[in-house]
A and B are shown apart, each in its own frame.
Chain A
Amino acid sequence: MTLHQGAAARPWVDRVLAINGWVIFVFLYAPILMVVVFSFSASPNVGRWGGFTLAWYDRMLGNELLMSSLRNSVIVALVSTVVATILGTAAALALARYKRWVGRGTFDAIVYLPIIIPDVTMAVMLLLWFTSIGVGLGLGSITLSHIAFNISFVAIVVRARLANMDPAMEEAAADLYADRWQAFRKVTFPLIMPGVLGGGLLALTLSLDDVVITSFVQGPGSTTLPVYVFGLIKRSVTPEINAVSTLMMVMSVGLVLTSLMFQTRADRKNRQ
C-alpha cells in the first residue's frame, strides 16, 4: 500500500506504522474469528475444538425463545431505523440548510443531548416516563426508545455530510428545477445519500446492539436478542450463541457491503 505523496515520512516510520496497523487488526479480529470458528466446533465447551459440525446452527433454529427474540430484535431495529432515519435526515436538513427559524437554537441543543447522555440515564428516564403516562411496556416501548436515541445519531451523520457538500450544487438545482421537491429528489437527495445510508446503518447497529435501555423498558414476551443473550450467555456459553452471532455478522456485513456497492455506483454516476 503506497503512502500518500504529501505524507511522505521516513521509510522506517512508515514500516513501524504498518506493523502497528496489522497488529491492531489481529487484535480486532481475534475474538470474532474465535466466535465464528467455534460455532462449527462439536465440543460444547467453547475453547476446545471438537471436530466440524453444523449441529449448533440446527439447534439454534430449533430454539424457540432464541428465534423469537431474534425476530423481535429485527422488527424493532427495522422500524426504529426507518423512522429515525427519516426524522433525523429532516432534522439535519433543517439545521444545516435553514439558518433562521423559530426554536432553532433549542432544537440544535436537544438534538445532541441523546448522544452525550449515558445509556443508564436514558434507560431510567424512559422507564419512568412510560410508567408515568401509562404506556404499556413491550415491543412498542422498546421501539419508541430506540427511535429517540437514533434520531440524533442519524442527524449528526447527515449533517456532517451536508457540511461537506458544495451549496453551489443545490443553488444550480434550484435554478434548473422549478419545483423544490424535484430539486431535492434529483440533486440534494442523491448527494446526501451516503450520509443518509451511513446514518441509517449506524442506527440499525445501535438498535440491534442495545442492551441497557431495552432491558429497562421491555415487557412481556418482548425479549430482544441482546437481552436474551445477556440472560443466557452467563449461564451456559453454548456454541449456539456463537452460531447466532456468526449469522448476524454475515447478515450485517452483507448489508454494509451491498450499500457500499450502491454508493460507489451512485458516486460514479454523480461524477458523470
Chain B
Amino acid sequence: MKRLLGIIVVLALVVAACGGSETDVQGLADGCEVGETDGDLNLYNWTAYLPTGLDAEDAGVVDFIVEFEDRYPDVNVVYTQYDSNEAMLAQVDAGASYDLVVPSDYMVSIMKGSDLLVKLNHDAIPGMANLDPSFSDPGYDAGNEYSVPYQWGTTGIGFNYDYLDDSEGMSWAVIFEPDENAEYLGRISFLDDTRETLGAALKYLGYSLNTTNQDELDEASALIKAAKDDIAAFDSSSYWTLLTNGDTHVAMGWNGDFLAEYDGISTDDFDAYEQYGYAIPTEGAAAWVDTMAIPTTAEHPCTAHAFMDMVLEPFMGGELTNYNYYASPNLAAEEFIYEDILTWEAVYPSEETMASLEFFEDLGDFEINYADAFAAAKS
C-alpha cells in the first residue's frame, strides 16, 4: 500500500512538471500578410464589450462578428466572454487556446513579462496608422509591440442629481466620508475590484494608486472598511442598474457603463441625462486602456491580426464607441462617432482633467498585499 502511494506521488509530480506541447506561434505571426487568415477565430472578450447579436441590433450598430464572417467566409468566430482580467489570465495561463484576448493595460505588462503574448506583426495591421498619436507609445507596452489599444475610459462617480450636485466639482469624499446627514447614506455602491476601489481611496488620500508603501495601503484599506457601513453593495457589474432603479443614488463606476445605461433608459418623454450624471473627482482618478492582444496559446494568429485590423478601421472604431460609450483611441474613427458622445466631457475629458488621471501599473509581488488589503477591508 505504501509503495503504491509512493508511486502515485511520483507520477503526479512527473506529470505536474510536464506541460503540453507548444507550437511556434510567434513564427506563424511573423509571417502573416494583410488580410490573411489561418482558420477560425477563438475570440475571448469582456462581456458585452463587442457589438454582436441581438444587442447590436437593439443599439442600431453593426454586428462585428457577422461582418468579419462575411468578409472571410471560411472563418467561423467562436466567441467566449469573461468579466475580469484575472479570469482571462487564469484561462490563458492554464493553456486554453484563445486567438484574441482583450487585456487591460496593466495586464498587458504582466502577460508580456511572463511570455504569454505574441509580438504583433505590424505589417499585417496597417490600421494602426489610424491611432491617436498619444496612444502609439504607451507606458505599459512601448511601441505597441504586443498590443493594440481598443477602448479607453475613466473611473468616477455616477450619481442622481436629486441627491448630489457636481457644479463645483465632485470629491471622493461623497462616498468615502459622506456627510452624516446626507440623504443618500446606505445607498452607495463601490466597485468590487481590488485595484480600482483601493485606487480610488488612495487618490482621495492624496497618494498614487500605484503605491508600494504598505502604510498608505493600510490607510486606504481602513478608510474603505469604515465607509463600508454606509454602502449598499460592492458591485462591478450591475451598479448602473442599481443607480437607475433607485437602489443606490451614488455609485463608483466606469464612464461608458453609466452613459450606455442613461441612453438606454431615456425615452421621448424622459431625458435620463437631466436626472443622472457622471463626474471625475477633483482629487484625480484612474484612467485605463483596454487592448487587443494575441496569447502564445493561440492557434490562428493570422486571423487574429485580420480581426484587429478590422476593428481599427475608422467606421468600425466609431461603431465600437457608439455601442460601448467608451472613448476610442482611434483618431480616424471620430468622424463616425455620434455627436453627443464626442462632445461629452465624461467620455472625452478636458486636458485639465486628463492631467489628474493615473494609469494602473503592475506591481509584481506587491499585488498580494493589495489583494489582502481589499479582503481585510471587506471583513
* A–B contact (CB under 8 angstroms): yes
15-41 of chain B: CB within 8 A of chain A: 15-16, 18-21
B210 within 8 A of A: no
By a CB distance below 8 angstroms, the chain A residues around B15 are: 132-133
In the bound assembly, the distance between CA atoms of A125 and B54 in angstroms comes to 37
What total of chain B residues lie within 8 Å of the partner, measured CB to CB? 31
A222 and B18: CB pair below 8 A?
Answer: no
Stretch of B78-86, B316-324, B350-358 lying at the A interface:
B78-86
What is the CA–CA distance of A68 and B94 in the complex, to the nearest angstrom? 24
Indicate whether A127 sits within 8 Å of B238 (C-beta atoms), given known contacts A134-B20, A221-B79.
Answer: no
Count of interface residues, chain A, beta-carbon cutoff 8 Å:
29
Q: Which of A18-26, A78-86, A188-196, A232-240 contacts B (4 or more CB under 8 A)?
A: A232-240
Are B237 and A235 closer than 8 Å at their CB atoms? Answer: yes
A 125-141 binary contact with B (CB < 8 Å = 1; else 0): 00100111110111000
A65 to B77, CA, bound (A): 12
Residues on A with C-beta less than 8 A from B96 are: 136-138, 219-220
B87-106 Cβ-contact flags toward A at 8 Å (1 or 0)? 10011011111100000000
Q: Are A137 and B91 in contact (CB under 8 A)?
A: yes
Given A132-B18, A134-B19, answer yes or no on A235-B94 (Cβ-Cβ < 8 Å).
Answer: no
Asked if B47 and A232 make an inter-chain contact with CB atoms under 8 angstroms apart, the answer reads yes
Q: Which A61-119 residues have a C-beta within 8 angstroms of B? A: 62-65
Contact A127/B79 with A65-B53, A235-B238 known, Cβ cut-off 8 Å: no
Q: Is the CB of A223 within 8 A of B54?
A: no
Scoring A45, A133, A235 by chain B CB atoms within 10 A of each residue's CB, the highest score goes to A235
B44 within 8 A of A: yes
Which residue of the partner chain, among A59, A130, A237, contacts B54 with CB atoms under 8 Å?
Answer: A59
Cβ of B241: which chain A residues have Cβ within 8 Å of it?
A: 236-237
- B230-268 vs A, CB cutoff 8 Å, 1 = contact: the mask equals 000000011001000100000000000000000000000
In the complex, how many angstroms separate the beta carbon of A247 from the nearest chain B beta carbon? Answer: 17
Chain B residues, Cβ within 8 Å of A235: 47-48, 237-238
**Complex: how many Å from CA A131 to CA B42?**
19
Q: List 21 A-B contacts (CB under 8 A).
A: A45-B245, A65-B53, A127-B90, A127-B94, A130-B94, A131-B94, A132-B15, A132-B19, A133-B18, A134-B95, A137-B91, A137-B96, A219-B96, A220-B42, A220-B44, A220-B96, A223-B80, A223-B81, A231-B81, A231-B82, A232-B48
Q: Enumerate chain A interface residues (CB-CB to B < 8 A).
A: 45, 59, 62-65, 127, 130-134, 136-138, 215-216, 218-223, 231-232, 234-237
